[in-house]
Amino acid sequence: MQKTLLLFLLMFIFVVTACTPILIDNPTTLPITETATDIVVPADVEAFEDWKPYQNSLFGLGFQYPSGWLGPDEYISDQDLRVEVGSDVVYPYGTGLESRVYELKNSYYVTIQYSKNSQNDYWKDTYQSLLKLKDGESLSGARSLVIKIRQLNRGSFEGIEYISTLSETAQTEHVYSRQVILFDSQSNIVTIMGTPNNVDLNNATDWRAAYKLVDESNLEVFHKIVDSITIE
């Protein structure tokens, strides 16, 4: 591996810094509840009748999100579009942590980034490694743990859904996200990240289990947002 798996935790950052190689352990199988299925364009329009539509005509990207959620925050840089929605207040991209105030416990955010004609290929080595795994198997490094959930297709795009978190030897901070990366033959990349936020750890003995619980409680919403994505 020429790039560390930890880059998958930074999938939505526009500037990617270089990393040193790491040794990857043998694949490990972890229990998951999802099954491998292809994503298709939703046929049931009523499924989104109570949801808000988002559409960007410049990039041709659209999706639906819950009517009770806040946002979207939209940020454009050259050929990159970043959109964030969430169940609590959505701050503009680049707002410092010291300026963010969250009141809703166990909130959830979904960030979608669309990169046209992307020249970044830092993710390809890890992606190819994940393709070789069965659903539920994982790759771990000195600081990162990536769990393959499923392969999926959406029109001309194909990709993988996976969980990104920290390894057992890197418990200095709380990092846990559900991610999907989709790409086509024209080097267009769509990344979708679901992130638990302001997780209540008062009665938790394992922070990762608490984050996983919040993530899984929003799994239907996450998949519904992914299913609603359209690219023109």
Starting at the edge strand found earlier in the chain, the sheet holding 61-66 runs 51-56, 61-66, 230-231
Greater confidence (126 vs 160) lies with: 160
Residues in the chain: 232
Query: What is the spatial distance between Cα 81 and Cα 112, in angstroms, rounded to a whole number?
Result: 8
Judge whether 86 and 71 are in contact, CB under 8 Å: yes
* Helix or strand holding residue 138 (H, E): strand 137-140
| Average pLDDT estimate for 167-183 | 83
Report yes or no: 194 and 222 within 8 Å, Cβ to Cβ: yes
Q: What integer pLDDT is reported at residue 124 of this predicted model?
A: 81
pLDDT in tens, 14-52: 333 333 333 334 455 544 444 333 333 343 445 667 899
Domains of the chain: 5-231 (3.40.1000.10)
Nearest to 8 by CA among 171, 124, 92, 113: 124
Nearest-angstrom CA–CA distance, 164 and 177: 5
| Tens digit of each residue's pLDDT (9 = 90 or more) over 184-229 | 999 899 999 999 999 999 987 889 999 999 999 999 999 999 999 9
Contact status, residue 222 vs residue 197, Cβ threshold 8 Å: no
- The owner of tokens 């969250």 is 102
pLDDT-based confidence at residue 92 (cuts at 50, 70, 90):
very high
* Three-class SS state of 127: helix
Return the minimum-mean-pLDDT range out of 2-16, 24-38, 102-116, 161-175.
2-16
Give me 50's structure tokens. 């109570």
Quote the pLDDT of residue 169: 63
| Mean of per-residue pLDDT scores for the chain | 81
- If you ran DSSP here, which 8-state letter would residue 13 be given? -
> Is residue 126 over pLDDT 90?
no
pTM > 0.85: no
